């Protein structure tokens, strides 16, 4: 019975996190009602995956949670995201690990032990969700979806390293169109596998060494047909007003991503009586505005239709194919991972410091 209730709680908390992540702009204005998790090991980390607050108030009362991230021995922390921590492994590889927290002292209030246990289980569940999706994508890879190098290690996910969208891409209309086409094609591939990304936004789009766009962060990904949390008196979730996750909800989020890239700010929607009022569109490119509006209205039958529209625009403004420079092979990068793991094992006897739920000493179990 406990196992069943725990699983139901994890599912419920995961749904709430997805909603809160999607509502981050709204909740950022409700400081007294949003829980901040602070890393004791980083002052102002690079935001690789949207460093947003998570959690909800209990019983409509403000309660400050004190769950802090567990410091790690000699690890270069690149970023703290809503779903995990990203560490540097080499010039080509990063490790994305589950959030690990400092355990409360033995004499801490019971509620702090509950926070620690529930947060640990919750974030472990997010990591396992992303692991499952990336393992599917390893079998069916796509050039514009993040490449997993090793998904079998208990400490987390070893991924090819990418970088944030450079300013020279953001400010170049032709290169933005190429980027949109890349991400739309990545979504088309994902949807062909029956998966909805459910978190398409600028923080989750990176570029590789050839400036090709890469869709990342699959911690919120869900099967097509799952519920999309929509509440009548709150801003729209990232996927729009549809109650069901589908190609349409990812296209809605993708249109908002394009809007922000073109305008420089996130779109503001109003949602009343089941109807959505769209923001004014005036990017300076009528074709871009048409794609955004069509996606927001749900008038694309399939993601492939968006890809086709963007491919037509891309061919008009970009001459020739993208760079074909070779990247390091997955086999080469996996050898880097194995060497790095062996070095960590020899030096510390572990990859990542973590704590069992019944261990209050913060030591790694043997």
pLDDT in tens, 89-139: 999 999 999 888 888 889 999 998 888 888 888 888 999 999 999 999 999
Mean pLDDT highest for which of 2-11, 155-164, 224-233? 155-164
Cβ atoms of 265 and 202 within 8 Å: the answer is no
What average pLDDT does the segment 329-357 reach? 84
Q: Look at residue 154 and give its three-state secondary structure.
A: coil
- If you average pLDDT over every residue of the chain, what do you get? 81
Contact 200, 250 (CB under 8 A): yes
What number of residues does the chain have? Answer: 366
CA distance 69 to 121: 14
Q: In this predicted model, what pLDDT tens digit does every residue of 170-206 receive, in sequence order?
A: 999 999 999 999 999 999 999 999 999 999 999 999 9
pLDDT of residue 80: 83
Q: Which tens digits make up the pLDDT trace of 244-266?
A: 999 999 999 999 999 999 999 99
Is the pTM higher than 0.85? The answer reads no
State phi, psi for 242 to the nearest 5 degrees: -65, 135
Judge whether residue 29 has pLDDT over 60: no
Report the distance separating Cα 197 and Cα 215, nearest Å.
9
Hey, which residues does 86 pair with through a beta bridge? 79, 96
Cβ pair 156, 97 in contact under 8 A:
yes
- By C-alpha distance, which of 197, 96, 95, 192 is closest to 140? 192
- Spell out the domains of the chain, with CATH numbers in brackets: 2-161+328-348 (no CATH), 163-317 (1.10.510.10)
Give per-residue burial for 44-60: e unless 16+ CB within 10 Å, then b: ebeebbbbbbbbeeeee
- Check whether 8 has a pLDDT greater than 70: no
Across 148-212, the runs of DSSP E, i.e. the strands, are 148-150, 157-160, 163-164, 195-196, 205-207
Residue 298 is predicted with a pLDDT of 95
């Amino acid at each position: 019975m406990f196992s069943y209730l725990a699983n139901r709680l994890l599912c419920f908390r995961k749904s709430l996190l997805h909603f809160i992540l999607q509502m981050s702009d709204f909740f950022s204005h409700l400081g007294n009602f949003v829980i901040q998790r602070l890393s004791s090991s980083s002052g102002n980390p690079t935001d690789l995956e949207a460093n947003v607050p998570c959690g909800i108030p209990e019983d409509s009362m403000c309660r400050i949670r004190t769950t802090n991230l567990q410091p790690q021995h000699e690890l270069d922390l690149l970023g703290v995201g809503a779903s995990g921590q990203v560490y540097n492994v080499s010039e080509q590889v990063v490790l994305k690990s589950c959030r690990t927290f400092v355990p409360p002292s033995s004499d801490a209030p019971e509620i702090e032990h509950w926070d620690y246990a529930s947060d640990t289980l919750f974030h472990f569940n997010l990591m396992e969700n992303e692991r499952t999706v990336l393992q599917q994508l390893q079998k069916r890879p796509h050039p514009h979806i993040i490449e997993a190098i090793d998904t079998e290690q208990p400490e987390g996910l070893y991924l090819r390293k990418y970088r944030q969208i450079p300013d020279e891409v953001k400010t170049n209309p032709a290169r933005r169109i190429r980027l949109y086409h890349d991400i739309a094609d990545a979504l088309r591939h994902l949807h062909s596998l029956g998966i909805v990304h459910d978190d398409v936004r600028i923080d989750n789009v990176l570029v590789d060494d050839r400036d090709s766009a890469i869709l990342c962060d699959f911690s919120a990904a869900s099967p097509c047909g799952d519920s999309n949390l929509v509440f009548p008196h709150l801003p729209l979730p990232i996927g729009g007003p549809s109650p069901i996750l589908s190609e349409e909800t990812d296209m809605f989020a993708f249109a908002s991503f394009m809007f922000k890239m073109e305008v420089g700010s996130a779109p503001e929607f109003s949602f009343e009586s089941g109807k959505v009022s769209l923001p004014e569109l005036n990017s300076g490119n009528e074709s871009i505005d048409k794609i955004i509006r069509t996606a927001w209205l749900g008038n694309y039958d399939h993601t492939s239709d968006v890809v086709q529209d963007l491919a037509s625009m891309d061919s008009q403004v970009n001459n020739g194919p993208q760079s074909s420079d070779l990247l390091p092979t997955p086999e080469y990068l996996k050898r880097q991972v194995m060497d790095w793991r062996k070095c960590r094992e020899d030096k510390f006897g572990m990859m990542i410091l973590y704590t069992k739920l019944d261990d209050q000493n913060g030591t790694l179990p043997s």
